[in-house]
Amino acid sequence: MENQEKTPQRPQEQQGFRPPKGFLILLLFFAGVLIVLHISSSGGALGGGDEKLDPAQFEQKLKEGQIKNIRIDGRDVLGEFAAEGNKSKTFKVTYPDGYFSTDQHLDQLKALYIAKAPTDPKDRKFEVVAPSPLTQFLITIGPWIILLVVAWFLLFRQIRASGPGSILAFGRSRAKMTKGGRDKVTFDDVAGCDEAKEEVKEVVEFLKDPTRFQKLGGRMPRGILLVGAPGTGKTLMAKAVAGEADVPFYAIGGSDFVEMFVGVGASRVRDLFRQAKENAPAIIFLDEIDAVGRRRGVAGFGRGDEEREQTLNAILVEMDGFDTDDSVIVVAATNRPDVLDPALLRPGRFDREIMLDLPDVKGREEILRVHSKKVRLAAEVDLSVVAKTTPGFSGADLEALINESALVAVMKKKESVEGEDLEEARDKVRWGRQKKSKVMDLDDKKITAYHEAGHAAVAALLPEAEPVHKVTIIPRGVMGGATMFLPERDRMHFQKKYLLAQLKVAFAGRLAEEEFCGDISAGAQNDFKQATEWARRMVCEWGMSDLGPINYSESEEAGFLGREPRPRSFSEATAVRIDAEVKKIITECYDDAKRVLHENREKVERIAKALLKYEVLDASDVKRLMDGAAIESLHDGRKGPPAPVAEAKVADVKVAEPRPATGLGGPALGAAPA
């Protein structure tokens, strides 16, 4: 965990608003006076009386002449009974509110008392206590005054106070400031992107000693934009820059500027840059900047879009406006640079754009070594082999691979992570977990076996196709079965021969079903989808057809960016020709794959029967079967051969819902080429 420091605050913000002690004492004294007046007005000062009477009992005793004297205070009547011997008892009667507010009830009670009271004038005492106007006013208005004073005190305190509990905290930056610490990230923790590290090292040198650059009149970039696919290490690179420079590092996501209140985003931007300038030199990291930095004036969906544009305007002004601080460097990350506003990308704002690509084989090995420091690897594990078998993996994928391998080893109760654990973790990260408990009907298993055997056989027979890594009919992830491919190298370009070979491999699964099962299934859905997409891109984007080197692709970014959709740049006649060329490529590949399968029926059938027996075949098994080896000989020379699957009767097998089997294992084929 990185050490986090609280954002520096002004002295008045650190302590908040504290009223003087005399004010609190005066407030408490005023409240105490109101309480005493309320008690006295309700008769508390006269005592509670020896006996409690209700109004009916009191009036009955009054008629009988048992009442000696009376005192009326508010709605309470207090008095004494006529003396019995030498001692006299007191009583108390409580009438409903407002009973004595009119003189009628008071006169009736007084007349009754005079008529039945003792004849001695000394024993007659009928007193009505009238509250003073000040007391009545304080009792009526006082509680409201106290309530308003307390509300004002709390409101003013919230306005002046700082922190997340403040009433105005939504207008302040939510960036977390970190600096230094024992667990800080350095360039040693970043691997697989040497060129990107060289570029950002210039920023580190400037932050350490700005005078070296200022002597020659040089100016460092005010902004650095890290661009790359998800998982390539953009955030990690920004943390490494802050760790190497050992300066305050403010990290915030683009979505943290978006709120329901108008003007909050711009306010947070200004507050963020203010904090950074107070602690300069500093780095501000804006993650996923495309959330607020999209092109302006294109969507126009109302106030929400206007608020986003205000936030973007504030960022533009703070980065290169009249009050710009060269000692604050902004680092941003995005995987959609095409949607950013051009004003962000001009010199003076984000001067430098650094691309973080997927790592090559050398970079993957370095990344694996960085993450493997946290786990205990067996002595025989060769990370260079693992790196060669993980083309297309990002840094995040490789980290997940190491972590999953440790979990696999723990579940198998091993003391260290072995090579087979890394292989299982790789397949799990790329294609999903095996579903060995998934019970398939024998007919479905046969269809899946021949489908995958068709993919494997055609891939092994075509030299331009990717080499087979593993074939399985055990469901894994969303696949009912899979033929997994691992490229021998990282491909920079997709040649036409390679693409045509991949199309033939895609169609081989459906053709094997038709050739050996006498029927076809829906398992080739994903194969057809990828093959059609590739064939259309060959015609429309890559100029690999008789239509020539013309781009016929339709832009899909207009709706995403909020731009006006552009009309199609070709006629209906051309669209018909495009469809004809796509169909021509697909038909030729389909027919050629059918020919290859028909000429190698024995090899396909041998692979299918081996799958039905073992369920999983690796690359060496497929090669030996293609060379004519017997199915029973696959265990020769293998470490831990898979046990043959027990033959089961159809009646003993639970019929499961068929799942589509695919021969193109997602990233193993490079997914859709770019």
Query: What's residue 555's pLDDT?
Result: 59
Per DSSP, the residues of 640-660 read SPPPPPPP--GGGS-------
Q: What total number of domains does the chain contain?
A: 4
Question: 410: pLDDT confidence band, cut at 50, 70 and 90?
Answer: very high
Query: What's residue 461's pLDDT?
Result: 93
Question: From residue 402, how far is each of 373, 398, 413, 487 by CA, in Å?
Answer: 10, 6, 17, 21
Alpha helices (H) in 432-571, listed in sequence order: 442-461, 496-512, 525-540, 557-561
Same domain, 342 and 414: no
Tens digit of each residue's pLDDT (9 = 90 or more) over 1-51: 344 444 444 434 434 445 555 556 666 666 666 666 555 554 443 445 568
Same domain, 447 and 590: yes
Q: Assess if residue 257 is contained within a domain.
A: yes
Same domain, 350 and 365: no
Tens digit of each residue's pLDDT (9 = 90 or more) over 216-249: 777 777 888 999 888 888 888 888 887 887 788 8
Q: Is 287 in a helix, a strand, or coil?
A: strand
Please say if the pLDDT value at position 588 is more than 90: yes
Q: Is 84 in a helix, a strand, or coil?
A: strand
Strand ranges in 261-391 using DSSP code E only, listed in sequence order: 282-287, 328-334, 352-356
Q: Assess if residue 32 is contained within a domain.
A: no
Same domain, 248 and 223: yes
Q: Which of 401, 431, 461 is the last residue of a domain?
A: 431
Give residue 131's Cα distance to chain centre: 66
Tens digit of each residue's pLDDT (9 = 90 or more) over 415-472: 999 988 898 888 888 877 777 666 677 888 899 999 999 999 999 999 999 889 889 8
Same domain, 594 and 665: yes
- Contacts of residue 58, Cβ cutoff 8 Å, sequence gap at least 6: 67, 77, 91, 93
Burial 608-645 (b: 16+ CB within 10 A, else e): bbbbbbbbebbbebbebbbeeeebeebeeeeeeeeeee
Q: Assess if residue 295 is contained within a domain.
A: yes
Q: Which of 322, 339, 356 is the last residue of a domain?
A: 356
Q: Which of 304, 333, 356 is the last residue of a domain?
A: 356
Please say if the pLDDT value at position 301 is more than 50: no
Q: What share of the chain is helix, strand, coil (3-state, %, to 5)?
A: 50, 10, 35
Decide which of 626 and 114 is more confident.
Answer: 626
Same domain, 371 and 350: no
Same domain, 101 and 232: no
Catalytic residue list: 452
Q: Assess if residue 398 is contained within a domain.
A: yes
Q: Looking at residue 306, which CATH number applies to its domain?
A: 3.40.50.300
State the maximum Cα–Cα separation within the chain, in Å, rounded to a whole number: 139
Q: Assess if residue 417 is contained within a domain.
A: yes
Question: 144: pLDDT confidence band, cut at 50, 70 and 90?
Answer: confident
Length of the chain: 674
Amino acid letter for position 438: K
Burial 487-504 (b: 16+ CB within 10 A, else e): beebeeebeeebbbbbbb
**Max mean pLDDT range (72-81, 137-146, 310-319, 538-547):** 538-547
Residue 279 near residue 8, CB atoms below 8 Å: yes
Average pLDDT for the chain: 76
Residue 411 near residue 487, CB atoms below 8 Å: no
Tens digit of each residue's pLDDT (9 = 90 or more) over 83-95: 655 566 788 888 8
Strand 468-472 and strand 328-334: the pairing is unpaired
Nearest-angstrom CA–CA distance, 183 and 170: 31
Strand 249-253 and strand 176-178: the pairing is antiparallel
Query: What's residue 600's pLDDT?
Result: 92
- Contacts of residue 229, Cβ cutoff 8 Å, sequence gap at least 6: 335, 357, 358, 394
Global pTM value: 0.65
Q: Assess if residue 254 is contained within a domain.
A: yes
Nearest-angstrom CA–CA distance, 249 and 446: 59
Residue 343 near residue 371, CB atoms below 8 Å: no
Same domain, 566 and 632: yes
Query: What's residue 457's pLDDT?
Result: 93
Same domain, 200 and 57: no
Q: Assess if residue 317 is contained within a domain.
A: yes
Decide: residue 129, CB within 10 A, 0-12 exposed, 13-18 middle, 19+ buried.
middle
Q: Assess if residue 285 is contained within a domain.
A: yes
Query: What kind and span of H or E run contains 79?
Result: strand 76-81
Same domain, 419 and 537: no
Query: What's residue 66's pLDDT?
Result: 76
Same domain, 424 and 448: no
Residue 195 domain boundaries: 172-356
**The pair of three-digit structure tokens given for residue 388, joined into one six-digit string:** 């060669």
Q: Is 7 in a helix, a strand, or coil?
A: coil
Please say if the pLDDT value at position 261 is more than 70: no
Neighbours of 655 (CB within 10 A): 12
Same domain, 503 and 533: yes
Q: Looking at residue 394, which CATH number applies to its domain?
A: 1.10.8.60
Question: From residue 129, how far is each of 43, 148, 541 by CA, in Å?
Answer: 10, 31, 101
Q: Looking at residue 61, which CATH number applies to its domain?
A: 3.30.720.210
